[in-house]
Structure 1
Amino acid sequence: MFHVKHSGLKGRGAQSAAVPTRFGLASREVDGDWRDHVQMLDGPPVKLRTTVTEERPKSILTFNQSPDVPFDRSVNGYRGCEHGCVYCFARPTHAYHDLSPGLDFETKLFAKPGAAALLRATLAKRGYRPKPIAMGTNTDPYQPIERDYRITRQILELCLETRHPVTITTKSDRVLDDADLLAELAREQLVAVSISVTSLDPILSAKLEPRCAAPAKRLAALGRLVDLGVQVHCSISPIIPAITDDFIESIVAEVAQRGVQSVNWIPLRLPHEVAPLFREWLAVHYPDRAGKVMSIVRDMRGGRDNDPNFHSRFNPQGVWADLIRARFKLACRRAGIGKARFALDCSRFQAPETGGQLRLL
């Protein structure tokens, strides 16, 4: 594995150019003498830049039969995510394309500018039956490149046109760029938005999720969406024991003050290459408690870094998990938050026009 130790990469979540070997990529070790020699000849490493490759897939709507997620179809307009959250469970997907789940995942991005057109063709197919389309299930639909590509906005425009329900999961206040569409969709009971809040400490957030919106901006976005009449959810995720769990009660209280009535929590998940990337992050930023963090994680995951099994992957066990669960329930009770559920209208779907002609009925 290509591995470079250092004191941390500013503005990035992954802390090295780690390349996975799970799918047969070349392996090599870079020692300090070689690195020092290169810097003597060429100077310090060039700042990492984000690149975007445009993709032209043949389909865009993905279906799943997972028994423990609340949706059966999703759209992802982007692959990779510049937010750079070190804990992101989607990082391993880059390995399938011979790219690193580390720095490649957050610097070598892919956009699908034809996503809305592909979705239009799918929705126009005879026999299509609508259920909420989930956006943001893999990578964030409002990561920084959305400002240029507007793929998410185009999909929301199509959903409004066809009266198709849609859900959005994001860590960005950039969702408010589409406040006009979200307000219209909300009036038709066609949209629900979930914003993840990991901590209330901007310094910690900058280390953990370096290119995400600051916690205060996410809280403000939640409040603004409530004002717009959008069905809003806050996910306290992931909860990282001994690092972010101190914020459980304060996050619940903050979102309740803004009118949010739906909150959940998700424990840290470390599938495949995410585990070594997260361990490296701990070693850089929290060496004093790295052992404690991983010990608690393993305690909640049956002695492993990760539990990949359906149902239990979102339902940790053990004393620590029980403690977090009890704290969360008590915090919700004190804040007056019950068990609100999103209710979206699937009954008024209208198949879209395609090819400039009215669809034959």
Structure 2
Amino acid sequence: MKLLEKTPLGKLELKNKIAMAPMTRSRASNDGLVGDTAVVYYKQRSTAGLIISEGINISQQAKGSPFTPGLFTQEQIKAWKKVTDAVHEQGSVIYAQLWHTGRVGHSVVRNGELPVAPSAIAIEGQQHFTQEGLKDYEVPRALTTEEVKQTIQDYKQAAVNAIEAGFDGVELHAAFGYLPNEFLAESANKRTDEYGGSIENRNRYVLEVMQELVAAVGSDKVGIKLSPTIPYNSIIHNDPKTQFTELIKALDTMPLAYIQLMNSLFPLDQLPHYPQDVLETFGKLTKHTIIANGGYTGETGEQELEKGIAKIISYGALYIANPDLPKRFELGAELNVPDRDTMFGGGDNGYIDYPFLDQN
């Protein structure tokens, strides 16, 4: 079974080709600290060759959702060190997903401060989870050019902090409508400075962040997550094929560990100019390791690896409910079903109490 084979990632070797995808679980403290239950949660799922952490706020400004962790204070770094030590004890590798939520937030979560974004354009047709319940999205405050450059430095410092916290590398969350994704998309970016307008300018932010991350932590320790065809959070690209082709070719000049590509998780009937097969369209463009993400089962993950484009398959919800997912794939065992009601926020229930096979 290819999923269970060892595979290289940068200068490291993974014990299998299964990754735990980054997933928000909203169980940190108000100060952005992960607690002892997070140590248990990640240790349980260290059956994965690679763990990519939940999104970690790179700064106070980056926070958009309640109860999400940070990596910009010494206390936060120390808290994550307990997690990375536990994962390494189990022979797994763990990357920190670096997160700036951009306009995907609310002032209720941000001590009254409006979310920031490339341009003052609100997300439409959705609501945001806050500690006071669902709220309509607000019009964000557009970042100045100086502030844009400061966020790039915030990413760099967060990467330094991640290595101090024991992470093996970092992943830039440039997908699903968060700040880097907002710079990429015409629907969210109407800037007239060097970060807006042409494809080259709209790609500039992501590329400058990635350059700083590599400079901060070294070669083969930086990954990126992209979602070229996901319209969630009001992200629409006029020409995703051309734009992401140019972006990926530029990323190929950097010494990266991987590119994680998200499949099209939403219907694209209203977007006929979008490529239907993300892996086929974009995965073949790069020399970097491709991690395929989005909707895979054990069987379809195996099939994806057989095609030869992706080298690793990342699993989200299945890993929430099945901490021993590789063993279940190996045995063809029945899978626990994720409890959607406990995915975001709460206590140990739906977090660290999913049974292993030998507990059933």
Question: Which of the five TM-score ranges fits, normalised by the shorter chain?
Answer: 0.3 to 0.5
Greater C-alpha radius of gyration? 1
Normalising by structure 2, we get a TM-score of: 0.40
The structure where strand makes up a greater share of residues is 2
The structure where helix makes up a greater share of residues is 1
